[in-house]
């Protein structure tokens, strides 16, 4: 199935045109050390929170990871009956298509999804909703995810962690400075603390099941080191991947909501309770 081109692109940092340029300018980094580590962290979280009951339809809410690396579509493809992926930018969906297997990819806005009510058993949204300019847009997206989830369906959500000092400093700096220095090549928007995100999910009608934090290595340093080491030998790669993975042990510490780059929520749409 080919990706469907969106209509009426609008200007600005949250427009299809903007994110299309970002997607088109990203290198294919499937063999890169950092991309492999990020995919592994995301897969590990999904494995931990994957439903015990059969998943007939799963939706992933952006395709940036799949456009640049392996992402989560292959992982979901062997665990769900049908896999769907959306991205605001047609270019991201098109770049992900050759590596998406049987997944159906569509260019669409997370705030106005082209799916019927209760269409999915699981939605995976890893660092999708932290690129909006306004908190209200994040709320619209969560409400729309709630609409398309079946009763009893799950949402796995991650957002930038504002309690992490490095993330907080990055978010406080002007975007133009971040872009010029190459620290962040794309717009970073609003996010939520663990408490704020939990309240947002509850206001949309979700039951909160669990929270955690992931990606505990010092990200900016790790990305730079990975780029420098990408051309080194297999032994060096193994040692570096092992060092990155060792940081994830911090996820079991009480300080995890300070060291983690992302806060993660597992939420459930309440099941329909029998009456009478």
Q: What is the CATH number of the domain that holds 236?
A: 3.40.50.150
Residue 273 belongs to a domain? no
* Mean pLDDT rounded to a whole number for the chain: 91
Report yes or no: 181 and 171 within 8 Å, Cβ to Cβ: no
Residue 62 belongs to a domain? yes
pLDDT at residue 248 tops 60: yes
Residue 111 belongs to a domain? yes
Report the alpha-carbon distance of residue 125 to residue 156 in Å, rounded.
6
What pTM, to 2 d.p., does this model score?
A: 0.92
pLDDT band at 176 (very low <50, low <70, confident <90, very high): confident
pLDDT of 168: 93
pLDDT at residue 9 tops 60: no
pLDDT at residue 2 tops 70: no
pLDDT of 92: 94
pLDDT at residue 165 tops 90: yes
Average pLDDT over residues 183-206: 93
Q: Could you report the per-residue pLDDT of 26-64, keeping only the tens digit for each?
A: 888 888 999 999 999 999 999 999 999 999 999 999 999
Task: Count the helices and strands in the chain (H runs, E runs).
Answer: 12, 7
Average pLDDT over residues 214-241: 92
Strands 149-160 and 262-268: antiparallel
Residue 4 belongs to a domain? no
pLDDT of 259: 97
Residue 1 belongs to a domain? no
Residue 154 belongs to a domain? yes
Q: How many domains does the chain have?
A: 1
- Sign of dihedral through CA atoms 201, 140, 178, 171? negative
Average pLDDT over residues 253-259: 97
Classify residue 142 as left (phi > 0), alpha (psi -120 to 50) or beta. alpha
pLDDT of 7: 36
pLDDT band at 14 (very low <50, low <70, confident <90, very high): confident
pLDDT of 253: 96
Residue 31 belongs to a domain? yes
pLDDT at residue 5 tops 50: no
pLDDT of 170: 84
pLDDT band at 276 (very low <50, low <70, confident <90, very high): low
pLDDT at residue 213 tops 80: yes
Average pLDDT over residues 149-163: 98
Q: Could you report the per-residue pLDDT of 100-110, keeping only the tens digit for each?
A: 989 999 999 99
What do you get for the CA distance between the two ends of the chain, in Å?
A: 45
Average pLDDT over residues 219-228: 90
pLDDT at residue 8 tops 60: no
Range of the domain at 255: 16-268
Residue whose C-alpha is closest to residue 84's, from 116, 62, 68: 62
Residue 274 belongs to a domain? no
């Amino acid at each position: 199935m080919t990706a469907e081109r969106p209509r009426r692109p609008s200007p600005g940092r949250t427009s299809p045109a903007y994110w299309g340029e970002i997607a088109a300018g990203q290198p294919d980094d499937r063999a890169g050390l950092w991309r492999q580590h990020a995919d592994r962290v995301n897969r590990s979280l999904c494995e931990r929170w994957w439903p015990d009951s059969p998943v007939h339809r799963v939706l992933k809410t952006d395709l940036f990871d799949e456009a640049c690396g392996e992402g989560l579509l292959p992982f979901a493809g062997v665990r769900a009956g049908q896999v769907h992926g959306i991205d605001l930018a047609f270019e991201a969906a098109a770049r992900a298509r050759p590596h998406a297997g049987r997944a159906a990819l569509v260019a669409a806005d997370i705030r106005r999804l082209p799916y019927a009510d209760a269409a999915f058993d699981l939605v995976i949204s890893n660092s999708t909703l932290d690129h909006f300019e306004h908190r209200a847009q994040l709320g619209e997206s969560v409400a729309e995810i709630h609409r398309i989830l079946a009763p009893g369906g799950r949402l796995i959500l991650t957002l930038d962690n504002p309690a992490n000092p490095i993330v907080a400093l990055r978010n406080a700096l002007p975007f133009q400075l971040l872009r010029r220095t190459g620290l962040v090549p794309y717009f970073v928007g609003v996010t939520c603390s663990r408490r704020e995100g939990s309240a947002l999910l509850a206001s949309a009608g979700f039951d909160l099941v669990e929270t955690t934090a992931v990606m505990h290595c010092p990200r900016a340093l790790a990305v730079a080191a990975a780029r420098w080491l990408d051309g080194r030998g297999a032994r060096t790669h193994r040692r570096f991947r092992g060092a990155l993975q060792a940081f994830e042990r911090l996820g079991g510490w009480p300080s995890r909501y300070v060291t983690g780059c992302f806060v993660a929520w597992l939420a459930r749409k309440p099941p329909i309770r029998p009456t009478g």
